């Protein structure tokens, strides 16, 4: 095979043709080959066309993703926030003004501290509005002592028979 006169055979075939082998012209062969390589004349079915999303649809999708993410990150206030919170605790109370009893009520709804009888201003001394000494006596002294915040009603010379 190696020593066969291929060039001569080719020229002979080109000139005379062959009835046994359907040989095409080499130029026509290469032209057809190039055409197939370029895909212009391929008989294969072409792939489905690529679907391209419009720009506005991409923007809308991005916006929807951002909004959804933000909604998941922002904490939602609970209607039961008061119940869930720990109770307020009174650890110390100091009332500078004169007052009575201090009551505290701690519940789930809140803490109430009530100062009874709170006196923001000095109400002044006791007041003797009227008096009547039924027994014998010589005098009556009424004295308001500011230093001791007291009132003294003293009956002098009373005698009990």
Partner 1 sequence: MSLALVFGASLANAGIMSVRLVHATDAEVGIDPGLSDIAAILSSLRFESFSLLGSDTVQLPAEDARIRMAQGYTLTCNGTQDDLAIEMNHNGRALLKTTATLRRGKPLILGGFPTREGKIILVLKVE
Binding site for partner 1 (CB under 8 A): 98, 100, 116-117, 119, 123-135, 137, 145, 147-156, 158-160
- For partner 1, give the closer residue by CB, 29 or 154: 154
> Shortest distance, CB of residue 104 to partner 1, whole angstroms?
16
> Shortest distance, CB of residue 161 to partner 1, whole angstroms?
9
Inter-CA distances, 60 with 50, 53, 57, 69, 106, Å: 21, 11, 5, 14, 52
> Shortest distance, CB of residue 147 to partner 1, whole angstroms?
7
- For partner 1, give the closer residue by CB, 91 or 148: 148
> Shortest distance, CB of residue 126 to partner 1, whole angstroms?
5
φ/ψ (deg, to 5) at 95:
-110, 120
Question: Which residue from 80, 81, 104, 82 is spatially nearest to 91, judged by alpha carbons?
Answer: 104
- For partner 1, give the closer residue by CB, 17 or 117: 117
- For partner 1, give the closer residue by CB, 8 or 129: 129
Question: Which residue from 159, 154, 113 is spatially nearest to 136, judged by alpha carbons?
Answer: 159
Spell 39-60 as b/e; 16+ CB within 10 A means b: eeeeeeeeeeeeeeeeeeeeee
């Amino acid at each position: 095979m190696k020593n066969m006169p291929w060039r001569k055979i080719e020229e002979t075939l080109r000139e005379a043709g062959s009835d046994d082998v359907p040989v095409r012209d080499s130029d026509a062969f290469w032209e057809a080959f190039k055409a197939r390589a370029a895909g212009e004349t391929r008989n294969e079915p072409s792939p489905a066309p690529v679907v391209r999303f419009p720009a506005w649809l991409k923007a809308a999708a991005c916006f929807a993703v951002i909004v959804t993410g933000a909604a998941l990150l922002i904490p939602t206030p609970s209607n039961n926030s008061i119940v869930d919170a720990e109770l307020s605790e009174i650890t110390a109370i100091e009332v500078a003004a004169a007052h009575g009893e201090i009551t505290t009520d701690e519940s789930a709804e809140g803490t109430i501290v009530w100062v009874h009888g709170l006196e923001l201003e000095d109400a002044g001394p006791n007041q003797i509005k009227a008096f009547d000494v039924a027994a014998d006596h010589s005098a009556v002294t009424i004295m308001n002592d500011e230093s001791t915040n007291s009132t003294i009603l003293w009956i002098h010379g009373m005698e009990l028979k």
